[in-house]
Amino acid sequence: MANTTDDLFDPADLETTELLPPEHTDESAHRPDTIGDPEGSAVREETPAISLPDFFYKKYHLDDRGNPTYNDSVVGFIMEVFDVKAETSLVFNNKETAENDQTYYDQQVEMVVDGVMQLLEVDPQSTGINILSLSTRTWAEFSSIAWEYQDALSTIDASKEIPEWLISREEKMMQLGRKARLLRDAINCIDDKFGLRSTSLDRDRVQTEVERRLQRLAEWTFNQHANKSGKVASTMNKASIQHCETVFATA
């Protein structure tokens, strides 16, 4: 049987165009992935109750109840700095004035000792505990600032100038380092006058102060930068529903 022309199909007879995706996708074309991951899609569609900038999670995190708290790994990094610095002496970088600077530092230690000795005449144990607490808090602050300085320095672009805030942080770090060693050396001179069994710089107590400091900063940073619009909206919606239920009950 002979084929007719109607039985033959030639694609060239059709006018075809290349199918390309549109340059702009209309918002109305958005559809949630309800087939492949219906549960995950529903979660992604929800507005988060609280949103925070990425830098918050570098040093802090939220606990299971959504409250800000410190990051354990950051505490560990800070305590590594303490372990390195705790027994070091103050360094005088200017060789021309190093001898005079050391003499002045020694005089400062003597002045601190003389001042504390006056306080030890009455209730030496309480005085000793207060001085040790001051030393502990100072070492915690110094170690924390030193780590923050070191961490920030590692992210600075070498092709750009060091920012002013980092220079200010460097100055504070140096001042706290001097104060911490000043207290440590003064206490070592009169540790037998406190009437306490131990006057050594306790690492666990320093870590406790580091954690307290980070906790305060976590709460402050959270209050400054948390976007709670989702939580506020959720609270208002729940209040509206409760109001409607009350209206229904009294109708």
Cα 27–Cα 32–Cα 63 angle in degrees, nearest 5: 110
Residue 128 falls within a domain, yes or no? yes
Model confidence at 251, pLDDT cuts 50, 70, 90, reads very low
Which one is predicted more confidently, 14 or 126?
Answer: 126
Q: Taking the complete model, does pTM exceed 0.75, yes or no?
A: no
What value does the mean pLDDT take over residues 49-64?
82
Nearest to 135 by CA among 82, 66, 68: 82
Q: Give the mean pLDDT of the chain.
A: 81
Q: What does the pLDDT read at residue 233?
A: 40
pLDDT over threshold 90, residue 54: no
pLDDT digits (tens, 9 = 90+) for 158-217: 788 888 888 999 999 999 999 999 999 999 999 889 988 888 899 999 999 999 999 999
Residue 16 falls within a domain, yes or no? no
d(CA 84, CA 39): 50
Percent of the chain with pLDDT over 90: 47
Q: Cite the DSSP H helix spans in 157-202.
A: 164-190
* Beta-carbon contacts of residue 196 (< 8 Å; ≥ 6 apart): 125, 128, 129, 132
Residue 115 falls within a domain, yes or no? yes
pLDDT over threshold 90, residue 237: no
DSSP code of residue 114: H
Residue 183 falls within a domain, yes or no? yes
Residue 26 falls within a domain, yes or no? no
* Tokens representing residue 126 in the block: 């309480």
Nearest to 75 by CA among 87, 61, 65: 61
Percent of the chain with pLDDT over 70: 70
pLDDT digits (tens, 9 = 90+) for 167-181: 999 999 999 999 999
pLDDT over threshold 80, residue 33: no
Model confidence at 30, pLDDT cuts 50, 70, 90, reads low
Q: What does the pLDDT read at residue 231?
A: 43
d(CA 77, CA 210): 11
Domain that holds residue 161: 56-222
What is the domain count for the chain? 1
What value does the mean pLDDT take over residues 23-37?
62
pLDDT over threshold 60, residue 134: yes
Nearest to 194 by CA among 113, 136, 138, 140: 113
Q: What does the pLDDT read at residue 85?
A: 96
Residue 162 falls within a domain, yes or no? yes
C-beta atoms surrounding 181 within 10 Å: 23
